[in-house]
Structure 1
Amino acid sequence: MSSNTEVHIGIDRMGMFVPEQYLDVEDLARARHVEPAKFTRGIGQSRMSVPRHCDDIVSMGANAIAEILPDIDIDRLGLLIVGTESGIDQSKSSSLFIKHLLNLANRIESFEIKEACFGATAGLFVAYHYVAAHPDRTVLVVASDVARYGLGTAGEVTQGAGAIAMLVSADPDILVLNDDAEDYSDDINDFWRPNGHTEALVDGKYSTQVYLDFFRHVFDEYRDKTALGLDDFGALLFHLPFTKMGMKALRVALEDADVDDRKRLEHNFEMSARYSRDVGNLYTGSLYLSLLSWLEHADLDQAGSGDGSLAGTRIALFSYGSGAMCKFFTGRIQPGYRRGLRAESHARMLNARKRLTVQEYEQLFDEYYASEDVQTEKPESGFYYAGVKHDIRQYSRA
Structure 2
Amino acid sequence: MDTAYVINTFFALFSITLIILMVPGFAMLEAGLVRTKNVSSVLTVNVMIYAVASMAFILIGYSLAFGELQNETMSKWAFFMFQMAFVGKAINIMSGGVGERAKLFPLTLFTIIMGALIYPTAVNISWGSDWIKDTVFDLNFVDLAGSTVIHSTGGWALLAAILIIGPRKGRYVGDQIRVIPASNIPLVVLGAMLLWIGWFGFNGGSVGSIATKEAADSVALTIFNTNAAGLAGALSAGIFIYIRYRLFDITMILNGALGGLVAITAGPHLYSVTDSILIGGIGGILVVLAIPLFDRFRIDDPVGALSVHLVNGIWGTLAVGIFAADPAKGITIINQLKGVGEIAVFVFTVSSIVIYTINKMVPFRATDEDQLQGLDVSECGLEAYPEFKRAI
TM-score (norm 1): 0.29
TM-score (norm 2): 0.30
Q: Which has the higher helix share?
A: 2
